[in-house]
Structure 1
Amino acid sequence: MTTKTFLFYDIETSGLNKAFDQVLEFAAIRTDAALNPIETHECLVQVSRDTLPDPHAVLVHHLTPQACANGQVESDAIRFIHRLMNQPGTISLGYNTLGFDDEFLRFSFFRHLLTPYTHQYAQGCGRADLYPMVLMYYLFRPNQLKWPRTEQGVSMKLEALNSENQLASGRAHTALADVEATLALAQKLYQDQAMWSYLLGYFDKQTALKRLSDLPQVEGFSKGQVGVCVEGALGALNQFHAPVLILGMHQVYRNQCVMLRLDRKRLSTLDYTDLNEIQACMLRKKISESIVAPLNRFESYWDDERRQLIQDNLKWCAQAIAPIQSIAEYCTGLTYPNVPDCDASAALYQVDFPDQALILQYHEFWKYSFSEASVLISGFPEHARQCAERLLWRRPEALETGWSSPTLNQYLAGLKGHASNERVDYTGRIARTAQMVRTQIQTCYDQSSKEQQRLLDQLSDWLKVTWAV
């Protein structure tokens, strides 16, 4: 039987675009099931030649290209992280990792020709996230932690929780310091082992589906369970939760649960032919990535106005079966728009899964010499071939020989800022260019402190040398 371990991790990145930015720093602490540390990992990552760091990110974590110069090359670091997360029995988690880090790494794995999803399910592996668990402790075990307060209410930022509870030392937004704080936070939560085990169940797909099916139903509506979605984005004013009607599982994205908020507006006045109005009340959450709990446990958090609205909406749902079924049919069939010119690095959600033979070829790519690999990639699917070209271009042999290709030249022209070679990600957002970074540096400079200006000067020098901008 595979021994379960937790891998607490954190990343610092060159920016927030999951498709185009890169990991600059990674840290992880592996523990046993009782959260006793087993091993610690930390790595700094060089800025790749075709990465254009966001100046705002540099001002947060201070990781300029010069500060990262002695780190690992990106391809070595990403393959190392992939091996760590895919070690049998590994549950990878952190603080809000399912909100950012996990998907960021998924794209990093994808463009490095590694399996992007196996760390979620294969060989006893899985994922969890401390952030929604902390929200549940705040609501139902408030004495477990001290809760930092601001003018806007309670703060759930890791930095604030760390300071209030004296979890770990070290500057925030350094990967290892954040991991140490996250592990210390988890150890405090683990003191209530029954609560800890119960909440971990929400990150197991079969357990989460069973709990979802056990929620009470709206009479007359076969798919209409009622529950409460717990999520940080709902905010302190809503006590981080929203009562919801479960409309069903998505027809295309099979792991996605579609819900209608019961506290947003009076549903009897909802124009269910107005798609924008419906979407404003809709939540879509992946099973085993979110917490949807029984409704009756949250009633003490509602004021009279919110309670009345929820009760009125529940009564309407029980009577208005046809409108609700129409809303459910629309919401569970709503798909994300296809981006026709999506860049190869951002095509994760728009291409087919590789078969086993192709996965083996991707594996061989990393074993081959430069000349052998440049021949091998000619048989790859177009998106994979372009990703492989970029990986080869980063190798010293490409720099020494001037190796290139037409599609690679178009890619590099897009990085410099040529409008005809503009790159977009899977949401349609335009990729950062060298000229954009130069403009951002100039915009930030006068409003920055002396220390921040020093960081911006370093980034500016690197940009001038690397991209002649």
Structure 2
Amino acid sequence: MSYVIYDVETTGLTRCFDQIVQFAAVRTDDALKVTDQYHIRCRLMPHVIPSPEALNVTGLRIEQLVDPSLPSHFTMVTEIRRVLESWCPTLFLGYNSLSFDEEFLRLAFYQCLHGPYLTNAPGNARADVLNLCRITAALRPDVIKPATNKEGRPVFKLKALAEANDIVVPLSHDAIADVATTLALCQHVRMRAPEIWSQFLRFSKKASVEAFITEEDAFLVSETFGNHHRARAVTRIGKHSEQATKHYCLDLSADLEAIRTMPDIELILLCQGDARPIVTIRTNAAPTLWALYDATPDQIAPLDETEIVERAQLIREDQPLMERLCKVAQAAEPSYPPSPHVEEQLYGHAFPSPQDKTLMQDFHEAHWEKRVELAGRFTDMRFRLLAERLIYLERPGLLEENLRLAADEELRNRVMAPISSKARWRSIPAAQRDLEAFIEKDLEGDQLANMVGYGEHLRRRASEYS
């Protein structure tokens, strides 16, 4: 088996409207020895306004992001795709990647007319090294110890965690350095806790997860909500009626009698809060699981192992209760209205038709003049809009005048959206407001110079549209 460890740096945290500006990855063999590596940066797309805080965290200067010698975002994403496909099949790893890096990568692929689900395509798997470190700290604190903040609470930020475990960190919030640090953590756990490393690899496979949660009467799952993390002893009660990879489990420390007598509407409200008794496990998202016999007394308190097994058996013998709880859990899940913005239309829509999939492939193989004609043949309006945007960003002169002028107007409206509009993206006025507040944090030296330079850039761009 090979592994690909990757990291991205972005212009902010808004995954649909910010962009990747740096990507790095290494490919390793089964022993985590590097066999290949890749790194690329790109320039800023004109409709993306970086977050001042993101620039400060990464140390990137605005002049680096608008450097015309850098490849475009489209060129970078296409190259990333080519390299990663050449490294498949593989297990994709990153640090906090399943909630951040992978989402940015998927959306970049989608917006550049590539299939978005490369990391869990047939033959591939994915897992999160953050979860590896959390379970190692829980089960083998002699191998991984968390960092602590000023209040003494455990911290699992990459740089702080590495330093707390005597792993040298040359830089942070640089894609190349973060990949090296993530690789070092993997090597550290694999060498000192091979049983946890094997379990981590096991649960990167959907079939292994499903077999474990189905066959075990009770087990532990690691759950993160907001900035908090907890381990819960649970038993599987069923799965989503339409999404086969989504399974529901009941927290065995919950008040079972209260749950049995509670009206459905109250149970739904309970399941929408932080004290929800039902845990959702996605078998294709490499959940952090471990067997009951591996748990410490603190992890299963206030119950002991015997009580947990007895409760699990009682619940599993009550099929009507399990069916009712699954319906409640499904009803408690949030629903979102459809977005009018194409960037937010990856999820909740049908997969591309065979015709549109073929057109995507043709689009990438064609020259730009041919791509103009191909753009109009997409049957799914999402892909037609994305194709036209790519042409506008790369070869605007090829568009018909009415389309180009409409795109010019859309660009102006987007980057100059007033703060009062509460736009989903970051506009120049919003960035200027954030920058002013950020500079008041007593920045100095290079940090202050970076922010001042960014402020001048924003004023110049705003003047272009005045």
Query: Normalized against structure 2, the TM-score is what?
Result: 0.86
Q: State the match for 2:283 in structure 1.
A: 287
The separation in 1 between residues aligned to 2:363 and 2:410, in whole angstroms, is: 21
Q: State the match for 1:45 in structure 2.
A: 42
Contact 1:365–1:376, Cα closer than 8 Å, also in 2: yes
The separation in 2 between residues aligned to 1:268 and 1:448, in whole angstroms, is: 55
User: Which secondary structure state, in structure 2, belongs to the residue aligned with residue 160 of structure 1?
Assistant: helix
Contact 1:132–1:231, Cα closer than 8 Å, also in 2: no
Please give the root-mean-square deviation of Cα atoms over the aligned residues, in Å. 3.1
Contact 1:229–1:293, Cα closer than 8 Å, also in 2: yes
Shift of 1:416: 2.9
> Which range moved further: 81-90 or 316-325?
316-325
Query: Normalized against structure 1, the TM-score is what?
Result: 0.86
The separation in 2 between residues aligned to 1:65 and 1:363, in whole angstroms, is: 34
Q: Indicate how the Cα distance of structure 1 residues 407 and 257 shifts in structure 2: closer, same or farther if over 3 A, else same.
A: farther
Q: Which amino acid aligns with 1:260?
A: L
Q: State the match for 1:81 in structure 2.
A: 80
Contact 1:9–1:27, Cα closer than 8 Å, also in 2: yes
User: Which secondary structure state, in structure 2, belongs to the residue aligned with residue 166 of structure 1?
Assistant: coil
User: Which secondary structure state, in structure 2, belongs to the residue aligned with residue 246 of structure 1?
Assistant: strand
**What are the superposed Cα offsets for residues 168-204 of structure 1, whole Å, 9 maximum, x if unpaired?**
3322111111111111111111113333122211011
From 260, 268, 287, the equivalent of 2:257 is: 268
Q: Indicate how the Cα distance of structure 1 residues 375 and 65 shifts in structure 2: closer, same or farther if over 3 A, else same.
A: farther
Shift of 1:62: 1.9
> Which range moved further: 350-359 or 99-108?
350-359
Shift of 1:121: 2.4
**What are the superposed Cα offsets for residues 350-397 of structure 1, whole Å, 9 maximum, x if unpaired?**
321113332221122233333322221112121111111221111154
Q: Which amino acid aligns with 1:460?
A: G
Contact 2:236–2:247, Cα closer than 8 Å, also in 1: yes
How high is the sequence identity, in percent, across the aligned residues? 21
- Aligned pairs for 1:307-456 (under 5 A) are 317=315, 322-332=320-330, 336-380=334-378, 381-398=380-397, 404-405=403-404, 408-409=407-408, 411-418=410-417, 430-450=424-444, 451-456=446-451
Contact 2:139–2:295, Cα closer than 8 Å, also in 1: no
Contact 2:271–2:332, Cα closer than 8 Å, also in 1: no
| 1:152 and 2:152 are equivalent in the alignment | yes
Q: State the match for 2:32 in structure 1.
A: 35
The separation in 2 between residues aligned to 1:235 and 1:346, in whole angstroms, is: 25
Q: Indicate how the Cα distance of structure 1 residues 235 and 347 shifts in structure 2: closer, same or farther if over 3 A, else same.
A: closer
Q: Which amino acid aligns with 1:458?
A: G
Shift of 1:41: 1.4
The separation in 1 between residues aligned to 2:18 and 2:38, in whole angstroms, is: 22
The separation in 1 between residues aligned to 2:455 and 2:50, in whole angstroms, is: 11
Q: Which runs of 5+ in 1 are unaligned?
A: 217-225, 425-429
| 1:61 and 2:61 are equivalent in the alignment | no
The separation in 1 between residues aligned to 2:215 and 2:456, in whole angstroms, is: 59
User: Which secondary structure state, in structure 2, belongs to the residue aligned with residue 142 of structure 1?
Assistant: coil
The separation in 2 between residues aligned to 1:338 and 1:181, in whole angstroms, is: 37
**What are the superposed Cα offsets for residues 145-184 of structure 1, whole Å, 9 maximum, x if unpaired?**
3443333333222111221233233221111111111111
User: Which secondary structure state, in structure 1, belongs to the residue aligned with residue 211 of structure 2?
Assistant: helix
Shift of 1:417: 4.2
Q: Which amino acid aligns with 1:97?
A: S
Contact 2:107–2:346, Cα closer than 8 Å, also in 1: yes
**What are the superposed Cα offsets for residues 241-263 of structure 1, whole Å, 9 maximum, x if unpaired?**
12223232222332222233344
The separation in 1 between residues aligned to 2:439 and 2:117, in whole angstroms, is: 40
Contact 2:7–2:178, Cα closer than 8 Å, also in 1: yes
**Alignment: residue pair count:** 448
- Aligned pairs for 1:8-19 (under 5 A) are 8-19=5-16
Contact 1:148–1:160, Cα closer than 8 Å, also in 2: yes
Shift of 1:27: 1.1
| 1:244 and 2:242 are equivalent in the alignment | no
Contact 2:392–2:399, Cα closer than 8 Å, also in 1: no
Q: Which amino acid aligns with 2:204?
A: F
Contact 2:21–2:42, Cα closer than 8 Å, also in 1: yes
User: Which secondary structure state, in structure 1, belongs to the residue aligned with residue 203 of structure 2?
Assistant: helix
Q: Which runs of 5+ in 2 are unaligned?
A: none
Q: State the match for 1:231 in structure 2.
A: 223
Shift of 1:43: 1.4
Q: Indicate how the Cα distance of structure 1 residues 368 and 207 shifts in structure 2: closer, same or farther if over 3 A, else same.
A: same
| 1:23 and 2:20 are equivalent in the alignment | yes
User: Which secondary structure state, in structure 1, belongs to the residue aligned with residue 24 of structure 2?
Assistant: strand
Q: Which amino acid aligns with 1:227?
A: F
Q: Indicate how the Cα distance of structure 1 residues 366 and 301 shifts in structure 2: closer, same or farther if over 3 A, else same.
A: same
> Which range moved further: 103-112 or 157-166?
157-166
The separation in 2 between residues aligned to 1:407 and 1:422, in whole angstroms, is: 20
Q: Which amino acid aligns with 2:279?
A: L
Shift of 1:343: 0.8
Shift of 1:344: 0.7
Q: State the match for 1:300 in structure 2.
A: 297
Contact 1:8–1:29, Cα closer than 8 Å, also in 2: yes
| 1:118 and 2:115 are equivalent in the alignment | no
Q: Which amino acid aligns with 1:279?
A: Q
User: Which secondary structure state, in structure 1, belongs to the residue aligned with residue 196 of structure 2?
Assistant: helix
Shift of 1:445: 1.9
Contact 2:272–2:332, Cα closer than 8 Å, also in 1: no
Contact 1:111–1:387, Cα closer than 8 Å, also in 2: yes
Contact 2:92–2:125, Cα closer than 8 Å, also in 1: yes
Q: Which amino acid aligns with 1:283?
A: V
The separation in 2 between residues aligned to 1:152 and 1:234, in whole angstroms, is: 18
The separation in 2 between residues aligned to 1:227 and 1:234, in whole angstroms, is: 23
Shift of 1:407: 6.0
Q: Indicate how the Cα distance of structure 1 residues 347 and 407 shifts in structure 2: closer, same or farther if over 3 A, else same.
A: farther
Q: Which amino acid aligns with 2:325?
A: I
Q: Indicate how the Cα distance of structure 1 residues 167 and 84 shifts in structure 2: closer, same or farther if over 3 A, else same.
A: farther
Q: Indicate how the Cα distance of structure 1 residues 103 and 460 shifts in structure 2: closer, same or farther if over 3 A, else same.
A: same
Q: State the match for 2:270 in structure 1.
A: 277
